[in-house]
Structure 1
Amino acid sequence: MQLAYSFVFLLASVLVSLSPSAQAAPAKRAELITLPLKRVHQSVPNIHPAVYLQQNINRGLRRHARMTGREAPSDTELKRNIHKRLLAIEEAELKKRGHEKRYNRHGVPKQRIQPSPDLPGAKALHLKGNNGGGANQFASTPLNVSTGDVDGDGFSQIDAAAQAKGGLTPAIAPTAVNSLGLDIEANDVGYIATVQIGTPPRDFKLLMDSGSSDLWVGAEGCQSEDGGDCGNHVFLGEGSSSSFADTGRNFQVTYGSGAVQGDIVTDDLDIAGLVLNAHTFGVATLESVEFSGDSTSFDGLMGLAQSSLSNQGVLTPVEALAQAGLIKDAVTSYKISRLSDGKNDGEISFGGLDPNKFDPATLVTFPNVNKNGFWEGAFTVSVDGVDLGLAGRSAILDTGTTLIIAPPEDAIAIHSAIPGAKTDGQGSFTIPCTTSASVALTFGGRSFDIKAEDLLFTPVDPRDLDGDCISGISSGNVGGDTVWLVGDVFLKNAYFSTDVGRNTMSLAELI
């Protein structure tokens, strides 16, 4: 097979994502307010799945470093990680072709990859390619799937079809008062809430992120770091809102992937009918390409960790709602749904927990052990009911991260207990798409199983949904051997709630 990209061109294209850029009046009182979450889908270049996985791991490593107060890996180190992936892919391809030496001018095989996110911690690796003979050989016939996984084995065909199609799946009616339903973008990509901002109020789609603490939307006249505008989004400013006011102060936020900078402003924020008048937040005048593209399906981001993390130095919306007396407590609760279940019943709730979403007999509450304002709890790990003996571990629970990223030795221990698992020696693993292995994390004395289907990040060969799949648990140099970054691979399997006032978290089994 002729190799389509030069090594230098492909290396440049996959490294783009590493470039950084840049008192409320009381209204009606409610115990519980919920609003919709939607998943996010974004285009990515034609890159190999192993390289795309490394991009996602890199984002997690940078995000994890920020969460734990450790020095983030340098751009040079992250680029070196990707470079190693490229060399390994090329070596494997040349070996198959009978070459004994590596020729950088060959690059890596061309593949077909459909739109997928490159967001701060959001789900990645939505591969639409066709792997024709192993991880490095892509066929030219596109995958065509449109039905569910009838026998329940292998990678879900519903997910595979959603990878190729993208778009939103509408939510069902919400189950709680003051609540809005969840729409799903593609196959469990990211989660967006729709809120109203300004006078007159307009809808803004905001990525919900328990791993950061700043709210921002794009500013009128926003510029992208690539020199253009900030895409087909909704923007805020004096031209669109009569209640908009600039404080004259600036902010900047850098995420695991992407960055924004701009002005700190005040304007009216309506969350499910509860209005925070003159709430303080940010408008981004400069966005990195991860946020400014037309294929980015949100207009801004709402951080829901604790405000001690805020780069803007202001209360998070949930804290402001509690301070204004609009909700009883600064509690945020998440039901993250799974496309393949066909329920589409996800929601985010402010001020309490939605009893329609979880079994109260299984609810456990445990302390937040993070001193910086993130949500981190002690836990243990088992596979198929056997405790792995990984003592003294803690996990940062982050809705804005897709993968689980574990210290290398822990990731090896987990996969060593999964029949058929293999490692590529660079931090990622494959497991059989038909695995029935049960990985469980125990918090507060209660074990929560991760569904086998959630361990399947993507098939190695999209034409063989019963073959090997890339694991949703990866390893990385997270700056310590006891702290994990635990994202939606796990959080889709439990009801998740955070309480700022008590500095605790809760988990419960879903119903």
Structure 2
Amino acid sequence: MLVSSPGAVAALVALSSLGSVAASTPHIRLEKRSIHARAASSSVAAKETYASRKMRSSNNAAGGIRIPLSKKETVSTRKLRKDNGVVDFSNLMNALTFAKDKYTSGCSRIYRQTGKRLPGFQLKAYEAWAKTALAPLNSLISIEKRQQETLTNYQDGSLWGGPIEIGTPPTSFTIDFDTGSADLWVPGPSVQGYDTFDANKSSTAVPTNQTLVISYGDGSNVIGPVYKDTVSVAGLATKGQAFSPVSGMGVSFAPVDGIMGMAFESLSNIGQKPFFQNLYEQGGVKQNLFSFALGDANDGELYLGGVDDSKHSGLVVYTPVVQPGYWMVLGTAYANGVPTALLKNMIVDTGTTLIIGPRTDVAHFFEKVPHARRFREGYYMYPCGQEWTADFEFGGVKYSIPSQYLNLGLTAEGVSPSRYCVAAIVGQDIGVDAWIIGDVFLRSVYTVFNFGLNSVGFAPRA
């Protein structure tokens, strides 16, 4: 059953007919792809290639379609925590760089396409972004060619990856399903080390006159031509889906092959509808919503077109989106039961690991955590043996984050009680006046992204 709590400031009343749709909608089992392995959940980095096998699906008891995923280790991926339990600070900074780049460019795209500025977004940030993102294509390609030998890993800790297929005959890819972006891209033929898409080998691929360009803070880019082709997820296909088989990757996104954005069209680099919106409009699913259950390792699930009632307990409570583009809603942060950031903008992002808030908000948060103090560059540390709580309230309902998700690792090697640990809630100004609610929180709840109600719903995990 889906409802909103009575009298909640930021809640919507959902129709009861949206409550149970598990019998007719597909499940996609998601595997947590750890980039910097052994963060709060001690998961191990993984790389899975699907070029050699077709996607497999099986019907569960509710009649949905599941895609089981297997996990393989790799020793080449970076991690937020070293083998000795101490955080890798260079990779902690990498996480913040990724977030800042992601949201500066995203806010710039929204401003360019709609003329609307998200809260706190500065025009000078747009101007800096436009110099690269809107530069002549020839100059970008020249930059991209020089970047091929040294790729920077911009992922920030963990991804939730699952398989998709593109083209006729289909080519399989492992994709990060990202609610913090809106474009679909995979590696093209010239990219090495990944599964690739060759438009010349797909009978249904149609070229467009567009080019996808995603720019990052260090001047690197993801660049490629835009095609339209058939894209399938769990057997559900959209025809004429815009995507890019990128010809250049100045950044590394291993162990996934690419990104499928699941935010709003106004966030798209190329101004095209994302996969799920096309899927709904073409009749692939009956409900204009999708849901995520993110667990600890291989028990994640993406549910297209409905809500899997077996994955949550209690009610799904909705909070309206403040401004379409990102899945941005209003929420309140609590430290040790005390509200420290009241009804703030909060962006729900499955493509980000950390919880990132404005510096001032996060400073107020940790004032309520005894003995917590600044570590470095917006990160905070606290005595490892000290218990503290972090809760977030949406739609009048508070959700607690398990303590193991809040601990990124030790500040240094040492013996208790002198050890300090680094918190997974970080203060950083990333170009928009909003909190980024990532995997640290989302692993503890069931999350529904509802285009029909223009809202985000939460419920406790089952």
Please give the TM-score of this superposition, normalised by the length of structure 2: 0.71
CA distance in 2, matches of 1:71, 1:55: 23
Question: 2:299 pairs with 327, 345, 349, which one?
Answer: 345
1:227 aligns with none
Contact 2:156 2:352 (8 Å CA) reproduced: yes
CA distance in 1, matches of 2:383, 2:278: 46
User: How far did 1:414 drift?
Assistant: 1.6
**What letter matches 1:446 in structure 2?**
V
Is 1:367 aligned to residue 320 of structure 2? yes
SS in 1 for 2:153: coil
Question: 1:500 pairs with 445, 448, 451, which one?
Answer: 451
2:420 aligns with 468
1:376 aligns with 328
CA distance in 2, matches of 1:498, 1:507: 9
Matches within 5 A, 1:29-428: 31-38=24-31, 39-41=33-35, 43-44=77-78, 49-68=88-107, 69=118, 70-71=121-122, 118-119=153-154, 122-124=155-157, 189-221=158-190, 230-254=191-215, 259-291=221-253, 296-339=254-297, 344-359=298-313, 361-371=314-324, 373-388=325-340, 390-424=341-375, 426-428=377-379
2:410 aligns with 459
**What letter matches 2:153 in structure 1?**
D
CA distance in 2, matches of 1:465, 1:375: 41
Contact 1:459 1:465 (8 Å CA) reproduced: no
Contact 1:123 1:401 (8 Å CA) reproduced: yes
Per-residue CA deviations over 1:320-374 (Å, capped at 9, x if unaligned) read 11001110133121111114xxxx3211111111111101x33210100024x10
Change (3 A) 1:306 1:196: same
**What letter matches 1:382 in structure 2?**
Y
CA distance in 2, matches of 1:302, 1:326: 17
User: How far did 1:309 drift?
Assistant: 1.4
User: How far did 1:44 drift?
Assistant: 4.3
Change (3 A) 1:499 1:405: same
Percent identity over the alignment?
A: 27
**Larger gyration radius, structure 1 or structure 2:** 1
CA distance in 1, matches of 2:124, 2:217: 11
Per-residue CA deviations over 1:102-136 (Å, capped at 9, x if unaligned) read xxxxxxxxxxxxxxx933xx433xxxxxxxxxxxx
CA distance in 1, matches of 2:215, 2:24: 34
Per-residue CA deviations over 1:116-161 (Å, capped at 9, x if unaligned) read x933xx433xxxxxxxxxxxxxxxxxxxxxxxxxxxxxxxxxxxxx
Change (3 A) 1:216 1:40: farther
Contact 1:206 1:299 (8 Å CA) reproduced: yes
CA distance in 2, matches of 1:474, 1:427: 6
Contact 1:37 1:208 (8 Å CA) reproduced: no
User: How far did 1:425 drift?
Assistant: 5.9
Contact 2:412 2:420 (8 Å CA) reproduced: yes
Change (3 A) 1:199 1:425: closer
Q: Which has the higher strand share?
A: 2
Question: 1:477 pairs with 412, 420, 429, which one?
Answer: 429
CA distance in 2, matches of 1:282, 1:464: 51
Is 1:437 aligned to residue 388 of structure 2? yes
In structure 1, list runs of 5 or more residues that go unmatched: 1-29, 78-116, 125-188, 222-229
Change (3 A) 1:464 1:71: farther
**What letter matches 1:329 in structure 2?**
Q
Change (3 A) 1:330 1:463: farther
User: How far did 1:428 drift?
Assistant: 1.4
CA distance in 2, matches of 1:473, 1:365: 24
Contact 2:287 2:305 (8 Å CA) reproduced: yes
User: How far did 1:315 drift?
Assistant: 1.4
Contact 1:435 1:452 (8 Å CA) reproduced: no
User: How far did 1:278 drift?
Assistant: 3.4
**What letter matches 2:233 in structure 1?**
I
**What letter matches 2:188 in structure 1?**
A
User: How far did 1:479 drift?
Assistant: 4.4
SS in 2 for 1:36: strand
Please give the TM-score of this superposition, normalised by the length of structure 1: 0.64
SS in 2 for 1:212: coil
- Count how many residue pairs are aligned between Structure 1 and Structure 2: 358
Change (3 A) 1:430 1:503: same
Per-residue CA deviations over 1:434-478 (Å, capped at 9, x if unaligned) read 332111000000001011111111222367698321111111124
SS in 1 for 2:247: strand
CA distance in 2, matches of 1:251, 1:67: 14
Contact 1:65 1:71 (8 Å CA) reproduced: no
User: How far did 1:504 drift?
Assistant: 0.8
**What letter matches 1:324 in structure 2?**
Q
2:62 aligns with none
CA RMSD of aligned residues (A): 3.0
Contact 2:79 2:91 (8 Å CA) reproduced: no
Change (3 A) 1:437 1:364: same
In structure 2, list runs of 5 or more residues that go unmatched: 1-22, 36-75, 108-117, 129-151
CA distance in 1, matches of 2:378, 2:124: 15
User: How far did 1:67 drift?
Assistant: 4.4
**What letter matches 1:43 in structure 2?**
T
User: How far did 1:314 drift?
Assistant: 1.6
Change (3 A) 1:58 1:501: same
**What letter matches 2:316 in structure 1?**
L
1:109 aligns with none
CA distance in 1, matches of 2:255, 2:376: 35
